[in-house]
Amino acid sequence: MLLPVQFAGLFLACTHHWYPTWLLRAGKMLTLLAIGCVSLAGCAIPPATGGSCDLGLAQPNDEAAIRAVLEAEGQYVVTQQIDALMALWVESAYVSNAKNTPDRTDDDQFWRNKDAIRHRYVRTVFPGAPAAVTPADLQIQIDDNRAEVIATTRIGAEVAPAGDRWILSKHGQCWFLESLTYNLEAQHP
């Protein structure tokens, strides 16, 4: 059995022998870690993708980017480009049908999240084969990184003044669709 004094001496002898080797290994690891950090710091952050950033706009201002997103949404509906459409939407997005009762929300129909929105495009919108979808009379209100747009619905021959409300959000430099509420125009008997 080792006495405490003998154990302490054995410990000091071992650490004294291994100390320089351990220090060298630790120094090499810290040097490699520092080089790695400096190398990674020099790497550029990949550009954001999706939303307005995928539309090939040359340094647009916010309003131009928002208009471009809405125009692209209409064009992608006409050409039935589902992947391009879905790149315009945030993951937690929703679409709601106000059913021509803008003062009541209890009768609204919702498609919540991108999967449901994709389903709506493929099963409901695309089969109608609209020849033209053009947002018009845009009233854009921008508040920091969020925007609300009231637009006249123009799908083929259908025209509904102030029938759509779009909410967009800005992530980095890119504008994305967050929600669409349509059929906001009240029906008159």
Q: What is the pLDDT of residue 41?
A: 47
Q: What is the pLDDT of residue 157?
A: 76
User: Which structure tokens are listed for 150?
Assistant: 């009231």
The pLDDT tens digits for 84-134 are 999 999 999 999 999 999 889 999 999 999 999 999 999 999 998 888 888
Q: What is the pLDDT of residue 143?
A: 97
- pTM exceeds 0.85: no
Architecture of domain 51-182: Roll (3.10)
CA atoms within 13 A on the CB side of 101: 7
Yes or no: say if 96 and 163 are a contact pair by the CB < 8 Å rule. Answer: no
The pLDDT tens digits for 47-84 are 557 899 999 988 779 999 999 999 999 999 999 999 99
Q: What is the pLDDT of residue 38?
A: 44
Average pLDDT over residues 27-36: 57
Return the HEC string of 91-153: EEEEEEECCCCCCCCCCCEEEECHHHHHHHHHHHHHHHCCCCECCEEEEEEEECCEEEEEEEE
User: Which structure tokens are listed for 82?
Assistant: 């589902």
The full set of domain ranges for the chain reads: 1-43, 51-182
More confident residue, 166 or 1: 166
Bridge partners, 171 (sequence order): 174
Bridge partners, 147 (sequence order): 142, 168
